Structure 1
Amino acid sequence: MNDDRERMIDDLEPIRGNVRAAGFRRLSHGLYLPLAPDRDTRHEHRRDLAAWRLVLPSDAVFTHITAAELCGWWLPMLPRFVPVFATTGSSGNVPRRAGLICSRLPRSAGTGLVDGLPVDSPQEVLLRAARDLALLDLVVMVDSALRVGHVNEEGLDEYCHSGRPGSRRLRLAAAMSDARSESPWETMLRLFHAAMDIDVEPQFDVVDDGGRFSARVDLWVRGTPFVHEYDGDEHEKAPRRKADLRRARRLLDAGLERRGYVADDLLNHAGAMLQEMDRELGRRHRPARLRRWYALVRDSSYSAAGRRRLQNRWLKVNGFGTNWGQTA
């Protein structure tokens, strides 16, 4: 190997062209990266995106799921293979490569940099994602963007009524979103209550009889002594479990009863959840209420069918084979 090739490997810079030497990873046709040992997944993904810029127009920015991940937003349960999404306002040729979907769309003045990589404005990112994602997936992403302050309701409203592709679904997602959500599964739990016609107050502050703060709960079922919360894996760890038990006692002292739910409840035992909640509310159990929730989950990436739909859509748009793992 010559000195120039050794220097390129040392610098770990991407290479556009054909490389037939060891020590390189093929990202796509004519696009290679020197292998970087002992690098974490996040760093490698950033290197991949920096490499993709070699084949993108100079004004191109990342958008859709790619930009959302860079911005640190919550993402839905994506299929195994997800393309890189970019957009350009250039009138020239749009690059076509396996694993890359580059669209020619109107440019926004709100583009910026994240980790040194160009990303589209948050509103454009959400609008582009709305063309592909199901409603449940999109609400999770909108909640996250609102929570971190990357978008606000006023700025989003303009895009919701723009008439552009995806604007109708984005409008529906914005109407169902809430910036107070603190996790994607908390968003899912709130949406389940909405589908079941159960009125809840997110991030409700509980105070005792003396007016002292006791706890902040995920969801308070209005007009009842019940609070519903999502319990992630961290709640099973010993230190967190001890704190949870003390917190549950404080809630009982304040006259409230806590009910915890997990992802498996929402995805596989929604009927049992509804029965419990109907008993709490003292209302007649109507299984027909579940139809809307089942439809939302079935269309979303939280179901195997929804993930296949996304995968097939992106493979069709990309137009290269049936498996990016084989083409790049």
Structure 2
Amino acid sequence: MDDDAPIRGEVRVADYRRVSHGLFLRLRDGLGDDEEFRRDLAAYLLVLPADAVFTHVTAARLLGWRLPQLPEQVPVFAAVQGDRRPRRPGLICSRLVREPEPRIMHGLPVDAAEEILLRAARDLGILDLVIMIDSALELGHLAPAAMERLLETRRPGVARLRAAYGLATERCESAGETLLRLFHDAMEIAVRPQVELRDGSGRLIGRADLLVGGTTFVHEYDGAGHRDKLQHRADLRRERGWTGTPYVRRGFTLDDLLNHPGVVMHELDRALGRPHLVSRLRVWRRMVDNSLYAEPGRARVMNRWRRHMGVVDWAGTA
């Protein structure tokens, strides 16, 4: 027997770890989070039907999509045919509505890209979904024709997925860039993502996360990577290369977008010379509150997942 193969049953020795009820894996040193994640999924296949596929954020992670700010404990999501849906702590099974055509990723079966997004749309907010769709489009995993066919149906989650798909683009390269672009959309500021910038002689001087339409304002997301010493030096060299050009760079952080959106809105309105409209801020705050980036959204999603797993917690939902 393969020493690394998952085991179904009761194991009471010290060199195994428990994945879920009746599922165990031998302890191994030196493995990363993604490797352990794939080992866990291989163990779950022991209790899933042969036609099962992974879906929702489980499949998205296997496919290498960018994900929103997920809670620390996230269930494993699978889809199966028929009525045999195993119940395990940490496992949520939904029902397939057609014959699966699984894609194999890292030796594990995953659902079609559009179906993965639809399963996620039943739980997540629009901000969360657009991050996933942007990534799927950038990687070329999402066929527009298949997506359009799905959006013409009336299946649960289609309305939210349709709204998110209408906001998506293949030209964002990080979750932070997606959030920054959606903030500008809520503020009714037209932007172009990933625009090449050139000086007066036509020489390429860089590429902007967002270029505000009709202006030379470059707006960029400054995530944790920009605090790295080497990246910071590269950023400074890049900005010095803009000397003598009309481009003006402004950097924004996740804290700016989530905790100080009113301040950012006022800064942008002053720069654009337009009046402040509180209604724009309300649109953004509703989107954030319904996402995994805010406590109300996280509580809603976690309580939904607990109910599916047979654990009910109504705290914070009143």
Q: TM-score, normalised by structure 1?
A: 0.91
**Closer, same or farther in 2 for the Cα pair 1:25/1:264, shift >3 Å?**
same
Match of 2:149 in 1: 158
CA offset at residue 109 of structure 1?
5.1
1:248 aligned counterpart, secondary structure: helix
Does structure 2 retain, via aligned residues, the 8 Å contact 1:226–1:259? yes
The Cα of 1:153 is off from its aligned counterpart by 2.9
Give the equivalent residue in structure 2 for 1:200: 191
Q: Find the aligned partners of 2:222 and 2:20 in 1 and give their Cα distance.
A: 41
Say yes or no: does 1:255 pair with 2:255: no
Aligned residue identity for 1:312: N
In the other structure, the counterpart of 2:80 is 88
Deviation at 1:253? 2.4
How far apart, in 1, do the equivalents of 2:143 and 2:244 lie?
37
The correspondence for 2:41, drawn from 21, 35, 49, is: 49
* Mapping of residues 62-141 of structure 1, within 5 Å: 62-89=54-81, 91-107=82-98, 110-141=101-132
Residue 5 of structure 2 aligns with which residue?
Answer: 13
User: Cα deviation per residue 1:215-237 (whole Å; 9 max; x = unaligned)?
Assistant: 11011111112110001222223
Q: Deviations over 1:257-298 (max 9, x none)?
A: 000111110111111111110011110122332001011001
Amino acid paired to 2:151: C
Q: Which residue of 2 aligns with 1:272?
A: 263
Distance 2:143 2:155 in 1: 19
| TM-score, structure 2 normalization | 0.94
1:219 maps to which residue? Answer: 210
Which moved further from structure 2: 21-30 or 140-149?
21-30
8 Å contact kept, 2:79–2:93: yes
Q: Distance in 1 between matches of 2:212 and 2:153?
A: 35
In 2 relative to 1, CA 32–237 (structure 1 residues): closer, same or farther, beyond 3 Å? closer
Say yes or no: does 1:282 pair with 2:273.
Answer: yes
**What residue identity is the alignment partner of 2:18?**
R
Greater relative contact order (CA < 8 Å, ≥ 6 in sequence): 1
Look up the SS of the partner of 2:197 in the other structure.
Answer: strand
Alignment partner, residue 301 of structure 1: 292
* Secondary structure at the counterpart of residue 227 of structure 1: strand
Listed one character per residue, the Cα deviations across residues 75-108 of structure 1 (whole Å, up to 9, x for unaligned) are: 111112111100112x242111111111122235
Q: Which runs of 5+ in 2 are unaligned?
A: 314-318
Paired residue for 1:228? 219
Query: How far apart are the structure 2 equivalents of 1:285 and 1:320?
Result: 45
Residues 85, 100 of structure 1: 8 Å contact kept: yes
Match in the other structure for 1:4: none
The runs of 5 or more residues in structure 1 that have no matched partner are 1-6, 323-328
Opposite residue 18 of structure 1, the aligned amino acid is: E
Aligned equivalents of 2:201 and 2:172: distance in 1?
28
- Distance of 1:38 and 1:210 partners within structure 2: 52
Contact 2:195–2:210 at 8 Å: present in 1 too? Answer: yes
Alignment coverage as a number of residue pairs:
313
- Return the alpha-carbon distance in structure 2 between the equivalents of residues 44 and 300 of structure 1: 27
